[in-house]
Structure 1
Amino acid sequence: MQLKKQFGKRVQQLRQARKITQEELAEKVGVSIESISNIERGIHGPSFDNLEKIIIALQVPAKSLFEFD
C-alpha cells in the first residue's frame, strides 16, 4: 500500500476515534471537506502547514499519524 493511502487511512482512524466528522476536521484545518476526503482516500497528501493543523486538531503526536497497522 502506498504511503498516501496508509497515511489517509490513519488520519481517518484517528479522526473517527475522536468522534470528529470530516466537516469538523476541515473547519479546524481551514480546508474544504473535499480536501479532507481526498487526504483520507490517499488521493492527495497534506502540505506541511496542513499536516501541523491536522496534528493539532486531532490532538495527537506527529509520529502517531505514521504508525500504520
Structure 2
Amino acid sequence: MLQPSKQQILRLYKHLIRYGNQLQLTDKNYFLGRIRREFREGRGLSDPVQIEFNFKRGETLLRKGRIL
C-alpha cells in the first residue's frame, strides 16, 4: 500500500472543507465540525493501513457525496 503524503492529506482536507461550505440540505456546522474532529483525531495515527483507510474514506465522500 502506498501511504498518502502530507500534501495529499492537506489537499483532501481543504477540498472537504470547501465541499462542506457548499452544502445546502445538511447542517454545515455539524459537517465541518466532524471533518475537523476526524482530521484532528487522525493526526496521531501511525499505522499505514489506518491512514490509507481514512484517506480513501475522505476521497469517497468527495467523489460520491455521501458520508460513510
TM range (shorter): 0.3 to 0.5
Which of the pair has more CA radius of gyration?
A: 2
TM-score normalised by structure 2 residue count? 0.42
TM-score normalised by structure 1 residue count? 0.42
